[in-house]
Chains A and B, each alone.
Chain A
Amino acid sequence: MNPYSINCSRKPVWREFEKSIVQNTLPAGAGFQEAPTLEEINGRDSERQKVLNTESRESKVHDALMLAQISQTQDDRLKDAYQTAYEGRRLSGEQGQILLDSGDLNVLGWLATRAKERFHPRGKVSFLIDRNINYTNICRIGCDFCAFYRRGHEADSYVLPKEEIFKKIEETIELGGTGTLMQGGVNPHLKIEYYEDLFRSIKERYKIHLHALSVIEIEGIAQVSRLTVAETLERLKAAGLDSIPGAGAEILSDEIRLEQSPVKRHSHRWIKVMQEAHRANLPTTATMMFGALEERKHIIEHILRIRDAQDETKGFYAFILWTFQGENTELAKKNPNMQPTSGVEYLRVLAVSRLMMDNIPNIQGSWVTMGPKIGQISLHYGANDMGSIMIEENVVSAAGTSYTLDRKNMIELIRRSGFTPVQRDTYYNILAEYPETPAQ
């Protein structure tokens, strides 16, 4: 269907023509001149965009302009960082810092796109269809930036019954989903047997990817079940766990973590658990949540720690950036002057992340926290993936952000930004390609 279809698709010329018939003023021999409808004209637009989206190209003007800008850079340290990124060599923390502080947004976008194209074919952007299932909201941690947790005594505390989880999975599969992301609070009443039983019964019934739990939940399970983290991971994997989302990393800098969440404060523990998972053959993603009190040096510290960990265990397959969502959180109440992350800041951090993360193939743009507009623009600043069409996202929407996208909108969003949309599974295997917008 043409995205521009309109409820008044009459042809202008027809209208004049009809009028003259009604008024009987049609001059003898007057012919009707065929004018294209808007749909036809806009069809021409889509055709043109398709030609340019798919044509192989060499951006000579762009390269020349950017290289000139780099060579004219006054600051030697910035110039050196640009040069290192341009040549695809590994950036040091200082170089990352100077790019983040004083790099030009357009140069960063250009460099990040070049870096992205070392991992991915030009012109394709992937997305996932999966569902977040927040199996419980009872949590003994209670982070300041979270609006989702309950202590267990409130009326809206819950643990989802199995049947409900099954129903959600069935709906996911029906909607073309290939995975489920299960996360919840650190519920002190749920031991490993609960998870083993849940995962087994899901895997027995459905062919679906189980991307589940988080570092803090795994530690919680190990603790209440009196197991080591390694044992816990092994048993969960045996029960059907496929991969672990990298949530809860927030900012891996002890200075900042202490302020945000006293219980989650030890950043090395996050990395340690993730590396245990990699050793147990459980791949994971890594995240960064920024825009909450940290300084830029903490962002760089975070990126470096994940990059170092990745050098050792090579189990991170994607890096995901989130921005802090303030509404309804303690952190925002305690810091009323805190500002939401601006568009330019987000794109800078994204581009520098792409440049520094030379050992993680995938970087997601976050339309969920930044909105579809910046989400789409992020594809030009190093992101190769739009993340998931989340069929359910309780945590972020509890903190006041609620953007939704369906499959057709997602495809159109990607296509309109100059890329061919591809649907992927949780491991980033390509499942389908959408050169055209599908009919609703």
Chain B
Amino acid sequence: MESLTCASSHIPPCKLDGAQMLPKVKVSYSAVQSALSKALRGERLSFEDGVNLYHSPDLVELGAVANELNLRINGRDVYFNVNRHINPTNICALSCKFCAFSRKPGEDGAYAYSEEEISHRARVAAESGATEIHMVGGLHPRWKLSNYTNIIRTVKQAAPHVHVKAFTAVELDWLARKERKQVAEVIAELRDAGLGSFPGGGAEIFTPYVRELICDTKLTGDGWLDIHRTAHKMGLRSNCTMLYGHIEDIGARVDHMLRLRALQDETSGFNVFIPLAYQPENNELGINRHTYGVDDLKTVAVARLLMDNFRHIKSYWIMTGDRVAQTALHFGANDLDGTVVEEKIANMAGSQSGMAMAKSKLLRVIRDADRIPVERSTVYEPIRRYDNPAEDALV
């Protein structure tokens, strides 16, 4: 089988058969060296390069090259935002094996927020200076498109100036099928209700042989990419993610990144790539350990090297803890996500990082890594650059 360099033309359809297994890659240290030189010369890396880099034992070498590439694009600026998560419901029709958040209707701990509850959270967020509300939830069997547009309107009413980044491709697909509408129509209605952009969740791992094992009832990888393509073509930006550290192999991770790179080539609609470390508790997957620190850093670095058409790579502190997330700022990441305030999905799955980080702490974490904090909007426009460390105390 050919390499996946020009990913879009080589990506197999999401139907399982043995021939779709990824190409075999033979690794060698000279291949690692040539991939690194290619990256430094600004050349595009291949599937083989990605696999070789991922396996390289010289962590700091990989980090130094990724750091160099990041500094060329972003300098010492590190982005964060003041945001708030709201998960409107955890009732979900799907049963993804890695998920500890979802509940079936009537199950213990199942919840669906009322309009007041959502409105209250949005108001508190706006009062505390949030510029973004991030909303994702389960696939509630009884919610219709009108419930979703209502949620957005409720938020917009309570917090008119806040950017609403909400609903993953998985939720959009579910709504479109329920309403028997085109995804584009669903997106248009949400946009008209006030939605500003889409988060990157639900991507997990696109590669079919992995996706089949972790979330076989979920939207396929190609389906996910299609929906983001549609959104981008309608002028809406979105994020993208990868859930790593469970059962996937290195090839699947590299394949996943290349599929995103191919779509970014086509639309340039992604803001940022966010690797999400798998959280091991309370789920059915049976993998009971956190990701390795070295793996977290390598994933950020490889993403920086491979995904040459992404300006922003995020090290999301909720998933890896603030110590590793901070270190990743020297491994190619230029964004830490935000204050978050009420994180449920990773916390229920055993994340040890808590639910919120104060803005003052975000500033300190970035400063302590010898970087300059820049508060950003959801779509990465700078809001304020904190040039003067003496002013941090006033935040």
Contact = CB atoms under 8 A, between A and B. Distances in A.
Contact of B293 (A15, A45, A372): A372
A312 to B, nearest CB: 34
Say what secondary structure dominates the interface of chain A: helix
A189 interface: no
A7 B286 contact: yes
A371 interface: yes
Interface stretch (B24-32, B142-150, B337-345): B24-32
A48 interface: yes
A52 B32 contact: yes
A183 B37 CA distance: 51
A381 to B, nearest CB: 7
Interface stretch (B56-64, B162-170, B267-275): B56-64
A399 interface: no
B58 A418 contact: yes
A154 interface: no
A335 interface: no
B60 A376 contact: no
B124 interface: no
Given A342-B326, A377-B294, A65 B64 contact: yes
B17 A4 contact: no
Interface in A36-52: 36, 38, 41-42, 44-45, 48-49, 51-52
Contacts of A343: 322-324, 326-327
A230 interface: no
Contacts of B295: 416
Interface stretch (A56-64, A141-149, A220-228): A56-64
Given A45-B55, A344-B369, A33 B321 contact: no
B57 A377 contact: no
B57 A419 contact: yes
Nearest to A10: B213
B236 interface: no
Given A41-B251, A343-B327, A413-B292, A113 B60 contact: yes
B60 A110 contact: yes
A49 B373 CA distance: 36
Interface in B18-54: 18-19, 21, 24-25, 27-29, 32-33, 36-37, 40, 51
A381 B51 CA distance: 24
A61 B29 contact: no
A375 B321 CA distance: 13
A12 B247 CA distance: 14
A66 interface: yes
A342 B292 contact: no
B27 A65 contact: no
A49 B55 contact: yes
B173 interface: no
A53 B60 CA distance: 14
Contacts, number: 192
Contacts of A152: none
Given A106-B330, A345-B368, A38 B249 contact: yes
B25 A373 contact: no
A88 interface: no
Contacts of B60: 62, 106, 109-110, 113, 380-381
Interface in B280-298: 284-287, 289-290, 292-297
Contacts of A374: 293, 323-324, 327
A373 B65 CA distance: 21
B57 A49 contact: yes
Nearest to A374: B323
Contact of A52 (B24, B27, B97, B368): B27
A286 interface: no
Interface residues of B, number: 64
A49 B54 CA distance: 9
A418 B295 CA distance: 10
B16 interface: yes
A59 B58 contact: yes
Most chain A CB within a 10 A radius of its CB, from B57, B64, B323: B57
B179 interface: no
B327 A377 contact: yes
B212 interface: yes
B370 interface: yes
A35 interface: yes
A12 B287 contact: no
Nearest to B284: A7
B16 A12 contact: yes
Given A6-B213, A16-B16, A106-B64, A61 B33 contact: yes
Contacts of A395: none
Interface in A15-43: 15-16, 33-36, 38, 41-42
A373 B247 CA distance: 19
B68 interface: yes
Interface string B194-233: 0000000000000011101100000000000000000000
Nearest to B212: A12
B351 interface: no
B355 interface: no
Interface of A: 4, 6-8, 10, 12-13, 15-16, 33-36, 38, 41-42, 44-45, 48-49, 51-53, 55-57, 59-62, 65-66, 102, 104-107, 109-110, 113, 123, 339, 342-347, 370-377, 380-381, 409, 413, 416-419
The 5 closest A-B pairs by CB, nearest first: A418-B57, A373-B293, A343-B323, A35-B18, A109-B60
Given A61-B33, A65-B64, A123-B57, 9 more contacts: A38-B213, A48-B27, A62-B36, A65-B40, A370-B323, A371-B323, A374-B293, A381-B60, A416-B295
21 contacts: A6-B287, A12-B212, A13-B16, A13-B18, A35-B17, A45-B250, A48-B51, A48-B250, A52-B55, A62-B36, A105-B327, A106-B60, A343-B322, A343-B327, A373-B293, A377-B294, A416-B292, A416-B294, A417-B59, A418-B57, A418-B294
